[in-house]
């Protein structure tokens, strides 16, 4: 069973983002970290990133059709995309929301997640380890 690890807008350019918030890893390094942690746990991952809401929704529809578990960092879409929320709500296998930073400790607009109400759980604030912890949680659920 393949776990889909989806990443939303601007996460492909972690190299340009504030390293005090997002850490030192660029997206290829983050992907390698996730793949390595998944391998250690005996899990198969398909890691993707898109800046496009449409593309993310297409991937979520396919995950719903294929009953794939999902680890999802919706990035800024977390805070306002009802279209992505509705697509996440269609998933039948477990889905975990992750964030590198802790959005609740940041600007007020980041305190709302329109996604959290339709996922099994949310992990944020641990940098790349948020993904590792999500893999551990998913392994226990599938
Ligand atoms: C993020 C937090 C969001 O508020 C932000 O828009 C991102 C990344 C995180 O991983 O910490 O792009 O999802």
pTM for the complete prediction? 0.98
Determine contact, residues 41/139, Cβ cutoff 8 Å: yes
Q: Catalytic residue at 22?
A: yes
Distance of CA 119 from the midpoint of ligand 1 (Å): 17
pLDDT at residue 50 in the model: 98
Range of the domain at 44: 2-141
* Number of structural domains in the chain: 1
Atom from ligand 1 closest to the CA of residue 10: 12
Q: pLDDT tens digit string along 4-13?
A: 999 999 999 9
CATH code of residue 48: 3.40.50.9100
3-state secondary structure 46-73: EEEECCCHHHHHHHHHHHHHHCCCEEEE
Q: How many angstroms does the Cα of residue 76 sit away from the middle of ligand 1?
A: 6
Q: What is the pLDDT of residues 72-112, one digit of tens each?
A: 999 999 999 999 999 999 999 999 999 999 999 999 999 99
């Amino acid at each position: 069973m393949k776990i889909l690890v989806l990443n939303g807008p601007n996460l492909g350019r972690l190299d340009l983002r504030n390293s005090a918030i997002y850490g030192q890893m660029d997206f290829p390094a983050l992907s390698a970290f996730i793949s390595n942690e998944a391998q250690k746990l005996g899990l198969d991952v398909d890691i993707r990133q898109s800046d496009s809401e449409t593309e993310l929704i297409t991937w979520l529809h396919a995950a719903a059709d294929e009953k794939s578990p999902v680890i999802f960092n919706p990035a800024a879409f977390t805070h306002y995309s009802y279209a992505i929320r509705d697509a996440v709500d269609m998933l039948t296998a477990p889905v975990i929301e992750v964030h590198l930073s802790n959005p609740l400790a940041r600007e007020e607009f980041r305190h709302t997640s329109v996604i959290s109400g339709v996922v099994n759980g949310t992990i944020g604030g641990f940098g790349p380890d948020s993904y590792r912890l999500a893999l551990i949680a998913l392994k226990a659920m599938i």
